[in-house]
Amino acid sequence: MISLIGVHECKLDAKGRMLLPSDLKKQLLPVWGEGFVVKRSVFHSCLELHPMTEWKKVMERLNKLNRFVKKNNDFIRLFTAGVRIVEPDGNGRVLVPKDLLNFAELQKEVVLSSSINMVEIWDKNKYEQVLNDPDLDFAALAEEVMGGPTPEEND
């Protein structure tokens, strides 16, 4: 399992390519040659860049869903809408497809935010707005999500 760390700023060129920062690239080297999947985020107007090894784990989970249940089929369709395989070029740039650029409203300045086993791709201004959302109480969220018993205490 890969565990990515860091927030990185980069720029999109006129063709929609972004040069992955060297620190992030170093972290991705073990999976670099396998390629990546870029997709729409479920909860925000940003994109997700999944190393292929991690994407295969997601697909294994989706493949277990019964496709004769309509809501499962609908979920799979919406979850995979716009999914693309991308491979970095020789310079370490990744081309973001036009429809996904439009979905995330990516402008020239982009933030790559490591999110454990994948990278969120944000328009810089939108990322800052989400981080500074006055309606989000991070302390309360942290307590709710992480404040329960530890896995060892549940055993």
Asked if the structure places residue 48 within a domain, the reply is: yes
For the entire predicted model, the pTM comes to 0.90
What's the pLDDT score for residue 151?
A: 65
Q: Where are the alpha helices (DSSP H) in 1-97?
A: 22-28, 52-63, 70-79
Task: For residue 94, give the 3-state DSSP assignment.
Answer: strand
Asked if the structure places residue 32 within a domain, the reply is: yes
- Which CATH number fits the domain that encloses residue 75? 3.40.1550.20
Asked if the structure places residue 149 within a domain, the reply is: no
What's the pLDDT score for residue 155?
A: 57
Asked if the structure places residue 80 within a domain, the reply is: yes
Asked if the structure places residue 152 within a domain, the reply is: no
CA distance 108 to 48: 17
Provide the residue range defining the domain that includes 94: 7-124
What's the sign of the alpha-carbon dihedral 88, 92, 52, 121? negative
What's the pLDDT score for residue 91?
A: 92
What's the pLDDT score for residue 2?
A: 87
Tens-level pLDDT at each residue, the chain (155 residues): 789 999 999 999 999 999 999 999 999 999 999 999 999 999 999 999 999 999 999 999 999 999 999 999 999 999 999 999 999 999 999 999 999 999 999 999 999 999 999 999 999 999 999 999 888 888 988 999 999 877 666 55
- Number of structural domains (the chain) is 1
Asked if the structure places residue 55 within a domain, the reply is: yes
Asked if the structure places residue 145 within a domain, the reply is: no
